[in-house]
Structure 1
Amino acid sequence: MQIDLTGRTALVTGSTQGIGLAIATGLARAGASVVVNGRGEERVAEAVRAVRSDSGGDRVSGAVGDLATAEGAAAVVEAVPEADILVNNLGIFGSAAPLEIEDAEWLRYFEVNVLSAVRLIRALLPGMKERGWGRVLNLASDSAVAVPAEMIHYGMTKTALLAVSRGFAKDAAGTGVTVNSVIAGPTHTGGVEEFVRELVGEELPWEEAQRAFMVAHRPQSLVQRLIEPEEIAHMVVYLASPYASATTGGAVRVDGGYVDSILP
C-alpha cells in the first residue's frame, strides 16, 4: 500500500518525542507537510531537525505553544490556521494512589489530555468541513477501556477522548472529514521507561524490567512486550490517508491485544 499525503498539512501535538515524534516522522515520510508542536522553542527546533533527517523531507516546521492553556492553543492556531490532518497526541500520565488524587490534579489531567484536543478541533475542523476533506485523530489508550487502578485520572481522560471523537465525527457527518480515536497499548517511550522503573525498580536490566512490568502490571497483552512508537504511527498514517475514508467515529486499536474485548 503506497500512502501519498503530498499536498496535505498535518499538525501533530506533543510531537517533540515518543509517539508524537514517530507519528510526525511517519506522516512526513508519506509526503505530508508536517508541523511539530511542543512547549519550548529549543525542543521543537530539535524535533523538526529529527523529523527532517529521519523522513528525508524538508516540509517540516514547528509551532510552539502550551495547548493546556487557551493562550497556547491560540498561538498554535495562529501559526497553523488551516490543517488537513490534526493528530491530538499531547498527553501526560503517571501513577497515583486513587484516593490521594486531589482536585487540582484531576483538572490538570483533563486540561492537558482532553481540553487541548477539543480546542484544536474547534479551531481547525470548520475549515476541513468547508474544504470537504480532513482527518482528526485523537490518541487514546487501552486505559480508556481497561482503567488501571493506579492511573484512574489518566484513564478518565482517555475515556473522555473516545466520546470526544465519536461526538465530533457526528458533527462532521457527510462532509468528507473523518474523526477517530486510536487506542494505543503500552508503548515503549522514555516516559514509559521511567514509569516502569517506578513500579519494578532500578536494579533490573531494561529487558528484564520490561518483562517484569508486563507480567505484573499488563498481563493481558497478547504480544507480551511494549509496543514501539512506530507501530502506533503506522496506524495513524493509514487513518490519515484516503484509504481510510470509510472509517470514522471509531476507536481503532493498536494495543497488542491488551483490551480483552472483541469491540472497544
Structure 2
Amino acid sequence: MQALYIASSGMAAQERNVEVISNNIANMRTTGYKRQRAEFQDLLYQSFRRAGSTTSATGTEVPVGIEIGSGVKTAATPRVMSQGDVAPTEKELDIAIRGEGFFAVSLPDGRTGYTRDGSFERDSSGQLVNVDGYTIQPGIVIPSTANSVSIAPDGTVEAYLNNSTTPTTLGQLQIARFANKAGLESIGNNMFVETGASGPAQSGTPNSDGMGDLLQAYLESSNVNSVTEIADLIAAQRAYEMNARVITGADEMLQATTQMR
C-alpha cells in the first residue's frame, strides 16, 4: 500500500526537522550562531487521469485529473542570517559586528574562514587571533607594551605604547560580505567558508559601503528564539505522530484485507 511509503517519508522528514531544531536549541548560547530551518518539497506524482485529457469524440476535456503524490523530502536547511542581540562583555578584544559582514580568519589548511564570533585574543607574539589561535585577517600585532587598546567602529586599532600620551595606530580590521551569505558552508567552530553558491568574498572597511560597523567590548549572541523553536518542535512532533497514525491505519486496512481473503 502506497500510503505506508508516503507516511514513512513524512516521518523521516519530521525527524530531520527535529534534528535541525535540536541543533538550534543546543546553540542558543553560541556566540554569533545563525539558526537553521528545514524546508521541504513534495515528491513525484503518479497520474491516473490527466487534467485536460479528452473524454469523448466531441473533444470534451477532464477539468480535474487524478494525481497521487509519493510523499515529502527535505529540500534544504538554510541559515537565517538575521542580526543577533549584541551584549556587552567589558573585554577590550571582544568585537561585535552590527550589520553586514564577517571577520576573515586564516585557517590551518590555507583556506579563509568567515565568522561573526568576535571573541579575540592575543597570542604569544601579540598577534590578534580567535579562540582557536587562528590569525584574524589582516594580521594585526598588539605589542606587549600596548595600553588601552581601542577599536573604532571603522576597524581602526589604536593603543598607547610605552606610556605615550599619543595613541599609535596598529592597523585596521576588515570585514567581508557575500552576495548570498546563506550559501556559505558551515565547517564548525563558528566558522563558514565560501562556496560557489555564496559567491566570492567582498572585503571592505567597516562602517562604509553598506558594511556593518564594529562595537568594541561587545559580542553578538545567537539569533535563536527559544519560543519559536519550541513552537516548531511541537508542530514537528504532531506531524510525526500524524504520519505514524497513517501507517497504523494503513496496516489495519491491510490486515482487514488479508482476513477477507
Same fold (TM over 0.5): no
Q: TM-score range by the shorter chain?
A: under 0.3
Larger RCO, structure (CA 8 Å, separation 6 or more): 2
Q: Larger % of strand: which?
A: 2
Q: Larger % of helix: which?
A: 1
TM-score normalised per structure 2: 0.20
Mark the structure with the bigger radius of gyration.
2
TM-score normalised per structure 1: 0.20
